[in-house]
Amino acid sequence: MNKNNVQIFDTTLRDGEQVPGCKLNTEQKIVIAKRLDLLGVDVIEAGFPISSPGDFKSVEEISKIIKNASVCALTRANEKDIEAAAKALKYAVHPRIHTGIGTSDSHIIHKFKSTQEKIIERAIQAVSYAKNFVDDVEFYAEDAGRTDNKFLAKVCEAVINAGATVLNIPDTTGYCLPGEYGAKIKYLKDNVKGIENVILSCHCHNDLGLATANAIAGIQNGARQIECTINGIGERAGNTSLEEVVMILRQHPYLNLDTRVNSKLLYDTSQLVQQSMGMMVQPNKAIVGENAFAHSSGIHQDGVIKNRETYEIINPADVGVNESSIVLTARSGRAALAYRAKNVGYELTKIELDILYPQFLNYADSRKEVHDADIHQLISLNKPLKSSVNF
């Protein structure tokens, strides 16, 4: 693997689908999996086969169809889960089993009522067992974000020796600060024997709104896989958003890190997931939200009309959005009104704009937004204005 390549592990169909009310059927999952493969993700986590017959079937069907990306199935650290995953992945060209166990004191004491020694033993057994079925075994240390680094390093070294190919370091509760999460990855890079032979993976939750920042901090400290979802959907406040990490790396080329994702398909893929799950993103969602490339204040509109780069760091075409939009509101200026009027066929002179603009402001004050039909109406109400322009 090129050391500047960051692998994209998409978990929209597993962690993403854990959102209440967003369950997908097998057909819907197949459509999304095909789109993810086309998008260029490296790994598709297709489900958790032991969890239900429907999830088993989805992983099995996706395994039959996907030819480029690895298809991954989640398990807990026990033989039954691993056997179900292996069976569901039977037809996959590139199968991966994702097994693991909680490693924080909170998980060891309250969830497993166990000890650190026994947890390491179970981790080794799970990875060794999974290796009987597939070569590619990813280990997750659940709640690694709150796990003591020294113990985490011990777990990582043990599972590398057992054959793990990828080490997932989840900030399961979204607790870490970016500096802290980055330092955790660096600590593992510096202190785990054999770490150079595996890929470290960032799996960050968004409980404090830091999932994307934490994943990027992990990558800057040597991780080379990001686990993420389309639109950042997932348990509670969600996961790292795929579109955000892809565009962060692309917009900061000096980092010398990139993914294989075809960014021009990001907007359409986001729409597909929103519609399939019935879960719309907020308008101000980075990259794919309705307002991500919309400008409504006069100062910004004037700048964007003169040169898009004054207020946009991403070319909308690069993420599959047709163009930036100039939204007309009571905060819009003359340049925006002239621009939108031109778009619907009226080349306004300076005098015409002087007459129309105050009327536009009065009209806009009573509305949230002024649409094309409103522009036609405003102009048609100005007979002398209407007769002075050719339409």
In the complex, which residues of this chain contact ligand KIV (CB under 6 A)? 15, 140, 142, 168, 170, 172, 203, 205
With CB under 5 to 8 Å by kind, the binding choice for 102 among Zn ion, ligand KIV, none is none
Q: Are strands 325-326 and 294-295 parallel, antiparallel or unpaired?
A: parallel
Contact positions vs Zn ion (CB under 5 A): 15
175 versus 346: smaller Cβ distance to ligand KIV? 175
- Structure tokens, 31: 């459509």
Rounded to a whole number of angstroms, the minimum distance from the CB of residue 149 to ligand KIV is 17
| 251/238 Cα distance (integer angstroms) | 23
Q: Which does 201 bind (CB under 5 to 8 A by kind): ligand KIV, Zn ion, none?
A: none
* Closest approach of Zn ion to the CB of residue 147, in Å: 15
> Of these partners, Zn ion, ligand KIV, none, which one is at the site of residue 140 (CB under 5 to 8 Å by kind)?
ligand KIV
Residues across the chain: 391
Q: Which does 63 bind (CB under 5 to 8 A by kind): ligand KIV, Zn ion, none?
A: none
Using alpha carbons only, give the angle 276, 278, 279 rounded to the nearest 5 degrees.
Answer: 115
CB of 126 to ligand KIV, least distance (A): 13
User: What is the nearest approach in angstroms of ligand KIV to the Cβ of residue 10?
Assistant: 13
Report the C-alpha gap between 127 and 99 in whole angstroms: 7
SS (HEC) of 182-219? HHHHHHHHHHCCCHHHCEEEEEEECCCCCHHHHHHHHH
Q: Which one of Zn ion, ligand KIV, none interacts with residue 240, CB within 5 to 8 A by kind? A: none
From the CB of 244, what's the least distance to ligand KIV, in Å?
A: 18
Indicate the residue among 51 and 325 with the shorter CB distance to Zn ion: 51
User: Which residue lies nearer to ligand KIV by CB, 120 or 211?
Assistant: 211
Residue 256: phi and psi, rounded to 5, are 65, 35
Smallest distance from the beta carbon of 109 to Zn ion, in angstroms?
21
Residues in CB range of 293: below 8 A, 6 or more apart: 312, 314, 316, 321, 323, 324, 325
Pick from ligand KIV, Zn ion, none: which does 168 bind, CB < 5 to 8 A by kind? ligand KIV
Q: Measured between alpha carbons, how far is 233 from 15 in angstroms, rounded to an integer?
A: 8
Q: Which H or E element spans position 347?
A: none
User: What residue 142 binds from ligand KIV, Zn ion, none (CB within 5 to 8 A, per partner kind)?
Assistant: ligand KIV
Closer residue to ligand KIV (CB): 170 or 320: 170
Determine what percent of the chain falls in helix, strand and coil, rounding each to the nearest 5.
Answer: 50, 15, 35
Question: Given the complex with Zn ion, which of 212 and 324 has the nearer CB atom?
Answer: 212
Interacting residues of 244 by C-beta distance below 8 A, sequence separation 6+: 212, 232, 286, 287
Which DSSP letter does residue 309 get?
Answer: G
Tell me whether residue 145 or residue 320 sits nearer to ligand KIV (CB atom): 145
Q: How far is the CB of 15 from Zn ion (least distance, A)?
A: 4
Of 173 and 271, CB closest to Zn ion: 173
